[in-house]
Amino acid sequence: MSVTAKSLTATGLVAGYGGQPVLRGVSFTAHAGEILTVVGPNGSGKSTLIKTVLGLIRPIEGRILLDEEDITPLSPSQRANAGIGYVPQEANVFPNMTVLENLRLGVDFIQQRPAKRFDRRLEEVLDLFPEIRPKLSTRAGLLSGGQRQMVAMASALMPEPFLLALDEPSAGLSPRNAELLFKIISRIARTGVTLFLIEQNTRLGLGASDTGLVLVSGEVKLSGTASDILGNPAIRRLYLGGA
Amino acid sequence: MGQLLVNGLTTGLILALPALALALSFSVLRFANYAIGSYVTVGAFVTWWANVALALPFWVAAIIGSVAVASLAVSIDALVYRHMRERSGLTLLVASMGVAIALENVVRLFAGNSPRSFDVPVARPQRFFDIRVNQEQLIILITVLGALILVWLVFRFTRLGRAMRAVADNAALASVRGIARGRVIAVVWALSGGLSALAGVLIGLDTSIEPQMGWNYLLPIFTAAILGGIASPMAAVAGALVLGMAEEVSTLFLPPHYRMIVAFVIMAALLMLRPWGLFGTKWVQR
């Protein structure tokens, strides 16, 4: 895999629902090829942030850049074609379709970079997720939570995105599966993809990341290297549940 | 009994196309399009106009009727439903009632109220082992099976089919996988309109063409779709065949003009006991 990762920059994001802002001027940069994890208590605006990055919510103010390209006016499908892959927290597969159909849908409507035969790309992705190789003809709705999460990530990786956004990837997984998943996330980063994560499991999320962002009440309370945030006792006590 | 089954199969096949059309739009848009009966009527009348007034061959006229209603369905979506996309299914259902009333009255305005029929040559019925099969039944069988196979192939083996199934399965995920929902919706409306119009042509061939023909078929269409599973297009086809057989077999015990009661009873029982249908998925709410 030879993808050239791109950076993601948000400046002064104000966004919410029904005109009521949840995010209040959020700015950050995920540098090309690094893993950035956003953590914070429930209701801090983490899901709103990822939905805004993906174009599922239009910001009231602020801009989102993929490298130098302003993607703020783009729809979710246009952002997908600009090179942003997304794995939602829930409902992240097409349950009535087979695993292979889910993977095919990853590239059916997104321009691949560079154009590559489906079979060749499928092999590359299955090498990252060997657990789903025997399940290709199984309906995705019949898989376990961990397997579904892997299918969702594999599908998002099929078009070789510049940036992969993951919404709470460890949610609902057993501790063992969650650790396995984060090992895979680290492997994905090494293939040249920028990773932007929202995560409840602070220790696992920040432990696998280069940089972190602590979001509280829709504002950035702290940003920096993941190890600095994990090592900050006040932040851990106040905002991260003492993790 | 063999004759009853052939007649039931014919009824079921006629119902299969609009039931499929109804389930198709429901699976993607999550609302039951009440105007489906009017699409049936308009399709029959446009085909009649092309066949009789323009003296075009029946099959050419049928294609013109189907294309016209496919375009009409896409236009109605752009004019009416698109502006209500985020509203509840009930709001859209009421809007489709308005569309149905408007279309039926436009048909009455241009075509009047008297029944009419297509200009097709009359042929003697064929006999197979004492079962009488007339020319119209053979045309219905071939047309419906051809249309269903074509739709199934598109659904199963094409990018477009995968896109339609993906939007039906999980619209939000489909959008972040690069699928333009608006285009998929337009294709679904075109297919839904075209299939309904084709059903109108076949009903007109089997019986007669009149402004309330779609209305007469509305209850059986909804029952067939719900019987199979209104959110599962191909299951709706199975529902149509079961209903067609059930209606026809009921004439062994009931006077033929009471056969509509069968549809009523089946629909009422299903809505109470199994609203997701015999072959559908369980998410549909009562």
- Residue among B209, B219, B207, B208 nearest B266 (CA): B219
Cα maximum dimension of chain A: 51
**pLDDT tens track for A117-145:** 888 889 999 999 999 999 999 999 999 88
Taking residues A204-227, report their average pLDDT. Answer: 91
Q: Residue A240: is its pLDDT beyond 60? A: no
Sign of the four-CA dihedral B6, B8, B10, B16? negative
Task: Return residues 103-162 of B near A (CB < 8 Å).
Answer: 159, 162
* DSSP state for residue A113 in the 8-state scheme: S
pLDDT at A114: 56
Test A109 with B172 for CB contact under 8 angstroms.
no
Residue that is written with structure tokens 């035969």 in the block: A117
- Nearest residue, CB atoms, A95 vs list B169, B180, B181: B169
A71 neighbourhood in chain B, CB within 8 Å: none
Residue A54 at interface with chain B, using a CB cutoff of 8 Å: yes
Q: Looking at the domain assignment, is residue B210 inside a domain?
A: yes
Q: Looking at the domain assignment, is residue B257 inside a domain?
A: no
A79 neighbourhood in chain B, CB within 8 Å: 176
Q: Residue A204: is its pLDDT beyond 80? A: yes
Alpha helices in chain B (DSSP H): 2-29, 36-48, 58-79, 89-111, 135-157, 159-169, 171-176, 181-206, 213-228, 233-250, 259-273
A85, β-bridge pairs: A164
Arithmetic mean of pLDDT over chain A? 88
**pLDDT tens track for B200-224:** 999 999 889 999 999 989 988 998 8
Rounded Cα gap, residues B96 and A132, in angstroms: 44
- Nearest residue, CB atoms, A109 vs list B170, B172, B177: B177
- Nearest residue, CB atoms, A94 vs list B169, B175, B180: B169
- Residue among A217, A206, A214 nearest A235 (CA): A214
**Confidence class for position A69, pLDDT limits 50, 70, 90:** very high
SS3 (DSSP) at A31: coil
pLDDT at B281: 63
Class level of CATH domain A8-93+161-239 = alpha beta
Q: Residue A243: is its pLDDT beyond 80? A: no
DSSP E strand boundaries for chain A: 8-17, 20-30, 35-39, 61-66, 69-70, 84-87, 163-167, 194-198, 211-216, 219-225
Q: Residue A1: is its pLDDT beyond 60? A: no
**Confidence class for position B284, pLDDT limits 50, 70, 90:** very low
Q: Which of A109-113, A142-146, B84-88, B262-266 has the highest mean pLDDT?
A: A142-146
**pLDDT tens track for A75-123:** 888 898 899 999 998 889 999 899 999 999 888 888 755 556 888 889 9
Q: Residue B278: is its pLDDT beyond 60? A: yes
Test A108 with B175 for CB contact under 8 angstroms.
no
Residue that is written with structure tokens 């009966």 in the block: B37
**Confidence class for position A200, pLDDT limits 50, 70, 90:** confident
Residue that is written with structure tokens 């006016």 in the block: A73
Which is more confidently placed, A19 or B197? B197
Q: Looking at the domain assignment, is residue B47 inside a domain?
A: yes
B252 in Cβ contact with B46 (< 8 Å) = no
- Cα angle for residues B183, B184, B185 (degrees, 5° grid): 90
Test B165 with A106 for CB contact under 8 angstroms.
no
A94 neighbourhood in chain B, CB within 8 Å: 165-166, 169-170, 173-174
Taking residues B152-156, report their average pLDDT. Answer: 90
Cα maximum dimension of chain B: 58
Could you give the percent of chain B with pLDDT greater than 70? 98
Rounded Cα gap, residues A187 and B55, in angstroms: 69
Residue B109: CA count within 13 A, CB half-sphere: 6
Arithmetic mean of pLDDT over chain B? 88
**pLDDT tens track for B55-72:** 999 999 999 999 999 999
Taking residues A218-240, report their average pLDDT. Answer: 82
Q: Residue B112: is its pLDDT beyond 80? A: yes
Q: In the sheet where A211-216 sits, what is the strand order? A: A84-87, A163-167, A194-198, A35-39, A211-216, A219-225
- Residue among B284, B109, B111 nearest B210 (CA): B111
Test B180 with A77 for CB contact under 8 angstroms.
yes
CA distance B264 to chain A (A): 31
Q: Looking at the domain assignment, is residue B274 inside a domain?
A: no
Element (H, E) at B131: strand B131-133
Rounded Cα gap, residues B109 and B214, in angstroms: 16
ipTM value, please give it. 0.80
**Which residues are CB-contacts of B240 (< 8 A; sequence separation ≥ 6)?**
B12, B13, B15, B16, B19, B20, B224, B225, B227, B228
CA distance B33 to chain A (A): 23
What are the structural domain ranges in chain A?
8-93+161-239
Rounded Cα gap, residues B59 and B187, in angstroms: 23
pLDDT at B286: 42
- Nearest residue, CB atoms, B178 vs list A56, A77, A92: A77
Query: B137: domain range?
Result: 14-115+127-219
- The residue type at B21: A
A13, β-bridge pairs: A26
A97 neighbourhood in chain B, CB within 8 Å: 162, 165-166, 169
A199 in Cβ contact with A168 (< 8 Å) = yes
pLDDT at A91: 87
Test B177 with A101 for CB contact under 8 angstroms.
no
Q: Looking at the domain assignment, is residue B82 inside a domain?
A: yes
Test B175 with A104 for CB contact under 8 angstroms.
no
Q: Searching chain A, which residue's CA lies closest to the CA of residue B158?
A: A108
**pLDDT tens track for B17-38:** 999 999 999 988 888 999 999 9
Test B162 with A77 for CB contact under 8 angstroms.
no
Distances, alpha carbon A36 to alpha carbons A5, A57, A69, A185, A186, in Å: 13, 21, 19, 11, 11
**pLDDT tens track for B159-213:** 999 999 999 888 888 988 888 888 999 999 999 999 999 999 999 998 899 999 9
pLDDT at B280: 65
Residue A207 at interface with chain B, using a CB cutoff of 8 Å: no
pLDDT at A36: 96
A168-172: long-range contacts, CB 8 A cutoff, minimum separation 24: A168/A89, A168/A198, A168/A199, A168/A200, A169/A87, A169/A89, A169/A197, A169/A199, A170/A199, A170/A200, A170/A201, A170/A204, A170/A205, A171/A89, A171/A90, A171/A200, A172/A145
B165 neighbourhood in chain A, CB within 8 Å: 94, 96-97
Test B179 with A77 for CB contact under 8 angstroms.
yes
Find which of A74, A86, A94 to mutate to test the B interface (most B CBs within 10 Å of its CB).
A94
Taking residues B229-233, report their average pLDDT. Answer: 76
Taking residues A42-58, report their average pLDDT. Answer: 91
- Cα angle for residues B77, B80, B82 (degrees, 5° grid): 60
pLDDT at B285: 45
Q: Searching chain B, which residue's CA lies closest to the CA of residue A94?
A: B169
pLDDT at A48: 93
Taking residues B119-145, report their average pLDDT. Answer: 84
**Confidence class for position B242, pLDDT limits 50, 70, 90:** confident
